Amino acid sequence: MANEDFYIGANDEHGVNPPTQGKRTPVMPGLNRQIYENEFNRAAKNYFIEACMRQDFSVFDVKPELQDLSITNRVRRINAQNLTLCVTFAYNAFGESFNSANGVEVFYSPLNARAEESRALAQDVYNQVSQGTPQNGRGVKTLDVGVLSSVNCPSTLIEAGFMTNLREAQLMINPLFQKEVGEEACHGVCDFLQVPYIPRDDLSVYPLLRNGSRSNFVYLLQFILVNQYGYSLSIDGIFGANTQRAVQDFQQRNGLAVDGVVGNNTWRTLLTLPPYPTLRQGSRGAYVTFLQELLESNLIPVGGIDGIFGSRTNNAVRQYQQAEGLAVDGIVGTNTWAAITDLQRV
């Protein structure tokens, strides 16, 4: 069976601005705001979709909308697609204030018509997520919720942490943690399907793309441009004039050769892979956005995540450097990158 014959469902729980208290963190110190559960769920789901596209799987986004969608409607959508399997991303809570509850757990339902396959899928996903992230493993458990029990395919749900644990609440908006959960979930899916997993940072698997290209990697490119960088494009797997213009704009904004051709340098920047460039006040682009997200996950506000290294970001970098015992110069070089990209230090 070819990888493209596998049809993977990706679902994120809840939506923006959920009305209930249990779908958001307590007020975060430093940031002076609450983090909504879906800020993590949607990001992790999108990174999972990217990872699945890289494996050449076909992917169905169960809830592309920002707003919430009832479980009944989710189940209806899943069951209409004849999916190979479905993975749901969520975040746990225990009470309404910060406490010590922590860790990742993965669920399946014994009421699913394919319960044994769901259990095996949950175990494979749990093995990868618990080993590949800094999270304490809480095990595979059962849960009778519609997206697990009432769907016609093997289905699992990941509760990647507790939003009522301060450290794990910080991880919710950490782009490296979001990516790692999405990647490890895909790795678990590959184990379940018994196909090799292709890692995100292996640039040798990313083909050279240009106007006229058609492939699953064009879908991936378009998905990243739309969902990570806000471009308005049709995600159709066809590299046409609109995709070329978006690529050229991205290249210009990131100091790359503006040729509309997606090679290693453009892929590396789109994916914000290392080696990370030295950044300082005046820098702009995807790596600055990445840095700003990492600073906010360390509870240091930057005054807006905009990809522009201005005075607020400079002050935030200096604050982080001082707290971590680094040279306080406002320059993000090797040592600062090594510290801020270490999830164990969050």
- pLDDT for 21: 64
Q: Is 22 part of any domain?
A: yes
| Angle subtended at Cα 216 by Cα 215 and Cα 221, rounded to the nearest 5 degrees | 95
- Report the domain count for the chain: 3
Residue 22, pLDDT above cutoff 80: no
Q: How confident is the model at residue 40 (pLDDT cuts 50, 70, 90)?
A: very high
Q: Is 145 part of any domain?
A: yes
Question: CA torsion 5→160→290→49, rounded to 10°?
Answer: 10
Domain extent for 322: 286-345
Q: Say yes or no: 48 and 185 in one domain.
A: yes
Domain end marker among 246, 270, 294? 270
Q: Say yes or no: 223 and 334 in one domain.
A: no
Q: Say yes or no: 21 and 124 in one domain.
A: yes
Radius of gyration of the chain (CA): 20
257-298 confidence digits (pLDDT tens): 999 999 999 999 999 999 999 999 999 999 999 999 999 999
Q: Say yes or no: 40 and 108 in one domain.
A: yes
- pLDDT for 42: 97
Q: Say yes or no: 188 and 208 in one domain.
A: no
Q: Is 65 part of any domain?
A: yes
Give CA separation, 232 vs 38, 218, 261, 326, in Å. Answer: 22, 15, 18, 40
Q: How confident is the model at residue 20 (pLDDT cuts 50, 70, 90)?
A: low
Q: Is 279 part of any domain?
A: no
- pLDDT for 160: 98
Range 232-252 average pLDDT: 97
Q: Say yes or no: 105 and 244 in one domain.
A: no
Q: Is 198 part of any domain?
A: no
Q: Is 275 part of any domain?
A: no
Chain-wide mean pLDDT for the chain?
A: 96
Q: The domain spanning residue 305 has which CATH number?
A: 1.10.101.10
On whether the CB atoms of residues 141 and 101 are closer than 8 A, the answer is no
Number of Cβ within a 10 Å radius of residue 21: 10
Q: Say yes or no: 246 and 309 in one domain.
A: no
Q: Say yes or no: 21 and 127 in one domain.
A: yes
- pLDDT for 321: 98
Whole-number Å distance between alpha carbons of 312 and 202: 34
Q: Say yes or no: 212 and 306 in one domain.
A: no
Domain end marker among 193, 217, 237? 193
- pLDDT for 329: 98
Q: Say yes or no: 87 and 154 in one domain.
A: yes
Q: Is 276 part of any domain?
A: no
Domain end marker among 193, 226, 250? 193
Residue 130, pLDDT above cutoff 70: yes
Range 246-255 average pLDDT: 98
Q: Say yes or no: 236 and 340 in one domain.
A: no
- pLDDT for 19: 62
Q: How confident is the model at residue 2 (pLDDT cuts 50, 70, 90)?
A: confident
Q: Say yes or no: 186 and 208 in one domain.
A: no
Q: The domain spanning residue 158 has which CATH number?
A: 3.40.630.40
173-211 confidence digits (pLDDT tens): 999 999 999 999 999 999 999 999 999 999 999 999 999
- Own/partner contacts of 31-36, CB < 8 Å, gap of 24 or more, are 31/296, 31/299, 31/301, 32/301, 35/163, 35/169, 35/172, 35/173
Q: Is 277 part of any domain?
A: no
pTM: 0.97
Range with the lowest mean pLDDT among 11-20, 21-30, 190-199? 11-20
